[in-house]
Amino acid sequence: MREGSLEAPTRFPIEWQNPWFWDQAALDKEMERVFEICHGCRRCFNLCDSFPRLFDLIDNGPTGEVDGVKKEDYAQVEEACTLCDMCFMTKCPYVPPHEWAVDFPHLLLRYRAVKARREGIDFVNAELADTDKSGRLGTFAAGLVNWVTDEKNQAARRTLEKFTGIHHGARLPRQAGETFEHRAQRERPPLNEAAPAFGKRKAVLYATCFVNFHNTSVGSAALSVLARNGVATEAVHPACCGMPKLELGDLEAVAAAARKVTTELLPWVDQGYDIVALTPSCALMLKFEWPLILPNDPAVLKLAQATFDIAEYVVDIAKTEGLADGLQPIEGGVTLHLACHARAQNMGPKGAEMLRLIPKTRVAVIERCSGHGGIWGARSENFDTAVKVGKPAAQAALKNDTSFVASECPLAAEHLLQVMEIAASEQDGAHKPKPARADHPIELMARAYGWKEPS
């Protein structure tokens, strides 16, 4: 392996079940080793706030080297990491199979896990990470939840900020009054028997907690597109994939989620169904993170091999069987943000590929970070940074001047639209972006087929 080679990055299993993983002295030694490499390279200086924080700690320290950084200050670097994987996937020349074997995100995940085991996870963060629990409860009082969490309701949001640490200005997901699982039972679009893929595929939509409890229209659009293409489809949500708990370093909880979801999804695979995840973070968990956390579990590995991201799946249909007729142009074009966790799946820009299947439709792609990083960007201590990081992407979207803005990550799309609104207001105080809402690419694909979201 030589520096700068074109070999694909590879990852080692996360050895959280070995005692050495939890040894603080061994962890500190590995942190120092990797930070030394980062200090000598600095290629990632503009990716996120973790690297500027690291380099400032080094440059402002007594020696100007990593040995001058206090071990307790390593937490400042970890706190800025969103586990987006972009340093590993797109920037670092020293990832495996390079002999230096740098995996910055998984190193900080280990740091977070050791800290969580030593200090515990506080109640508020644990509750925020229990997305299934909050989602199910929220469906019973969706109107009230949406009123309280609306960023325009400053009185309620400032009270919420005091107790949860969620910034009063951060735009939060809307709560659906009905789960996608239930909606899918009502909405059974007819299968298009004339479609090239009819009779050749069947799929299970892994709803994900975000689509199941918040943006059910993403799932409805996916059902519509697949039915139009002759794919018999079911929708299920056994449980959350565990990404919110991974962000907290709770690896045992993630492993439990992997086992639970795998147990419920694998029988579908055995019946010949493909598993299609509706958000990229969840697809990433099923396809890559779970097999690294449970590398010796054959069921997890089998599920990973049967899993597709929704945009990846539609593109695969187009390439293998061909798409059904009927796609109409999207007037005004689309600005598509490439979500980090879609890029981390190492499958290519499938969202862009899918939208470019729509005739006479301009698709402008943005590869810069939206700044959100899951719940990270909504926290009080991070929101201003999330807006700052997202501004270059927002300004690029404004310059594109398209009628629609989309991202495969619904949180990134909504945050990008909010930062576009902020950036536009700073320019002249009155201008507003063209897009009225943030979309998932599958929603735009469905509309190009004539699907209409019920009002």
In a domain, 10, yes or no: no
Same structural domain, 342 and 411: yes
Q: How many structural domains does the chain have?
A: 4
139 with 114, same domain: the answer is no
130 plus 187 within the same structural domain: no
How far separated are the first and last CA of the chain, in Å rounded? 56
Q: Is 4 within a domain?
A: no
Q: Are residues 422 and 355 in the same domain?
A: yes
* Predicted confidence pLDDT, tens digits, the chain (455 residues): 455 556 678 899 999 999 999 999 999 999 999 999 999 999 988 888 899 999 999 999 999 999 999 999 999 999 999 888 888 988 899 999 999 999 999 999 999 999 999 999 999 999 999 999 999 999 999 999 999 999 999 999 999 999 999 999 999 999 999 999 999 999 889 999 999 999 999 999 999 999 999 999 999 999 999 999 999 999 999 999 999 999 999 999 999 999 999 999 999 999 999 999 999 999 999 999 999 999 999 999 999 999 999 999 999 999 999 999 999 999 999 999 999 899 888 888 999 999 999 999 999 999 988 888 888 889 999 999 999 989 999 999 999 999 999 999 989 999 999 999 998 888 766 677 888 889 999 999 999 999 988 75
Query: Tokens 């028997």 map to which residue?
Result: 193
Could you give the dihedral angle defined by the CA atoms of residues 399, 400, 406 and 409, in that order, rounded to the nearest 10 degrees? -60
Residue 91 CB burial class (10 angstroms; 0-12, 13-18, ≥19)? middle
Query: Based on the domain organization, do 106 and 127 belong to the same domain?
Result: no
Phi then psi dihedrals of residue 249, to 5 deg: 85, 15
| Range of the structural domain that residue 398 is part of | 334-448
How far apart (Å, rounded) are the C-alpha atoms in residues 167 and 165? 6
The H or E element spanning position 389 is helix 383-400
Q: Please identify which residue in the block is written with the tokens 């070995």.
A: 18
C-alpha span between 385 and 79 (Å, rounded): 12
Q: Is residue 13 part of a domain?
A: no
Q: Domain of 363: which CATH number?
A: 3.40.50
Closest to 427 (Cα-Cα) out of 395, 390, 387: 395
In a domain, 361, yes or no: yes
Q: CA Rg, the chain, in Å?
A: 22
Mark whether 313 and 199 lie in a shared domain: yes
- Domain end point (choices 138, 164, 190): 164
Query: Residue 233 sits in a domain of what CATH number?
Result: 1.20.1050.140
Cα 332 to chain centroid, rounded: 27
Comparing CA positions, the residue from 244, 218, 284, 145 lying closest to residue 438 is: 218
One domain, residues 111 and 131:
no
Same domain, 316 and 338: no
Residues 45 and 33 both lie in one domain: yes
